[in-house]
């Protein structure tokens, strides 16, 4: 197997922790998760998608890669620095599209084109209407540069930068198969600060939205109502984790915070259904650390009247015994870095 075909190491720098995953592909396409690493970050390391405490990120990366010879990585960008839009354009050749795309991007993207990297993919060609659907992605150069520079400071070699929505979709398609033509699958990734909704219809992205609300909001609400510190609130949210008995108010506080998040997710689903003409959703798959909170799954299910399940990223590969212990209880948090670790060195994006 030539070295260009190796999988990259997936590195997910999130606002509360860094997750790292390595996947090896053997003969006949058999995949194994050989390593998973987790490093918590101090509060306020990343605020509104901006890396404020770069020292903490570099130190975390150095710790996670201390024993690793392989340094080629795939990183993820998310949040305010990224815009994903599905647009309709007249049918044209690949060459014409390349010439036309910047003009289209100017109409749809609220940033100056000099400030962003633009990428695109044709989703559908509707020859009978003379139109095609194109997925347009713009990422702010400054944020991408900050991220890649930090990785390089930790002596890593960033080869690919992917987006949350697409890494989760990658995991879903590899683990569960590409959505069938009559299915509409909702992928909801609840990070600490941002929730990403990606709706797949006819096997491709039909709608994406970032919601500026996530697991931190639940922790902050517990902190506020009980007058306690962040670490204590975080452990109560996760069911105690060695801090003894959880105060009896906690489930009620969690429910209130989760109700608000579920309401925002539902508004995105309603908007999609109202504007797409799609009649029903098939199922909702939730990932991210907050997917472990059963109340969130129950409320999304009762509001949307659609089956809700936790996305299991370990369906994409066997898990090596060395990685099993590290992944225990963290599989939902590992989804993005596992999606990144599916990317290959030879892919240039």
Q: Determine contact, residues 187/169, Cβ cutoff 8 Å.
A: yes
Q: What is the pLDDT of residues 183-241, one digit of tens each?
A: 999 999 999 889 999 999 988 899 999 998 999 999 999 999 999 998 889 888 887 66
Residue percentage of the chain with pLDDT more than 90: 65
* Assigned token pair, 190: 């609840």
pLDDT surpasses 80 at 48 = no
Closest CA to 10 of 76, 87, 77: 76
Q: What is the pLDDT of residues 18-35, one digit of tens each?
A: 999 999 998 887 899 999
pLDDT band, very low/low/confident/very high, at 349 (cuts 50, 70, 90): very low
pLDDT surpasses 70 at 3 = no
Q: Which pLDDT score is estimated for 82?
A: 86
pLDDT surpasses 50 at 2 = no
**Winning range, highest mean pLDDT, from 19-23, 80-84, 248-252, 319-323:** 19-23
The distance between the two most distant Cα atoms of the chain, rounded to a whole number of Å, is 64
Q: Averaged over 1-22, what is the pLDDT?
A: 82
- Say whether 3 sits in a helix, a strand or coil: helix
DSSP alpha helices (H): ranges in the chain? 54-64, 94-108, 141-153, 164-176, 215-226, 230-237, 250-276, 294-304, 321-327, 335-341
- Say whether 344 sits in a helix, a strand or coil: strand
Interatomic CA distance for residues 215 and 260, integer angstroms: 12
pLDDT surpasses 60 at 347 = no
Q: Averaged over 50-59, what is the pLDDT?
A: 91
Q: Averaged over 104-120, what is the pLDDT?
A: 91
Q: Which pLDDT score is estimated for 325?
A: 85
Indicate the average pLDDT of the chain: 90
Least confident of 24-28, 258-262, 268-272, 333-337: 24-28
Q: Which pLDDT score is estimated for 32?
A: 94
pLDDT surpasses 50 at 40 = yes
pLDDT band, very low/low/confident/very high, at 326 (cuts 50, 70, 90): confident
Q: Among 3.30.420.40, 3.40.50.300, 3.30.565.10, 3.60.15.10, what is the CATH number of 3-218+251-341?
A: 3.30.420.40
Task: Tell me the pTM.
Answer: 0.91
Q: Which pLDDT score is estimated for 300?
A: 96
């Amino acid at each position: 197997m030539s070295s260009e075909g190796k999988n990259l190491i997936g590195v997910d720098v999130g606002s509360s922790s860094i997750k790292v995953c390595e996947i090896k592909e053997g003969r006949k396409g058999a995949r194994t998760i050989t390593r998973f690493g987790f490093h918590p970050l101090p509060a306020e390391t990343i605020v509104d998608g901006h890396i404020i405490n770069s020292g903490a990120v570099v130190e975390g990366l150095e710790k996670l890669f201390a024993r690793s010879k392989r340094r080629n990585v795939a990183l993820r960008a998310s949040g305010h620095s990224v815009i994903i839009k599905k647009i309709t354009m007249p049918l044209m050749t690949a060459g014409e599209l390349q010439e036309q795309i910047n003009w289209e991007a100017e109409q749809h993207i609220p940033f100056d084109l000099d400030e962003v990297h633009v990428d695109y993919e044709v989703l559908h060609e509707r020859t009978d209407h003379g139109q095609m659907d194109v997925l347009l992605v713009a990422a702010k150069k400054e944020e991408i540069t900050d991220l890649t520079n930090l990785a390089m400071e930790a002596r890593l070699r960033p080869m690919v930068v992917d987006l949350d929505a697409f890494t989760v979709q990658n995991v879903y398609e590899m683990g569960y198969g590409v959505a069938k033509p009559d299915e509409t699958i909702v992928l909801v990734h609840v990070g600490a600060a941002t929730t990403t909704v990606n709706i797949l219809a006819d096997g491709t992205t039909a709608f994406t939205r970032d919601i500026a609300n996530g697991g931190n909001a639940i922790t902050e609400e517990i902190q506020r109502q009980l007058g306690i510190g962040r670490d204590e609130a975080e452990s109560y949210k996760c069911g105690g984790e060695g801090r003894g008995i959880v105060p009896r108010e906690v489930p009620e506080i969690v429910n209130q915070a989760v109700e608000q998040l579920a309401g925002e997710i539902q508004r995105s689903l309603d908007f999609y259904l109202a504007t797409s003409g799609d009649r029903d959703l098939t199922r909702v798959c939730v990932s991210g650390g907050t997917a472990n909170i059963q109340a969130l799954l129950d409320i999304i299910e009762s509001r949307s009247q659609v089956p809700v399940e936790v996305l299991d990223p370990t369906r994409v590969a066997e898990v090596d015994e060395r990685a099993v212990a590290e992944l225990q209880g963290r599989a939902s948090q590992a989804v993005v870095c596992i999606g990144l670790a599916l990317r290959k060195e030879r892919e240039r994006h």
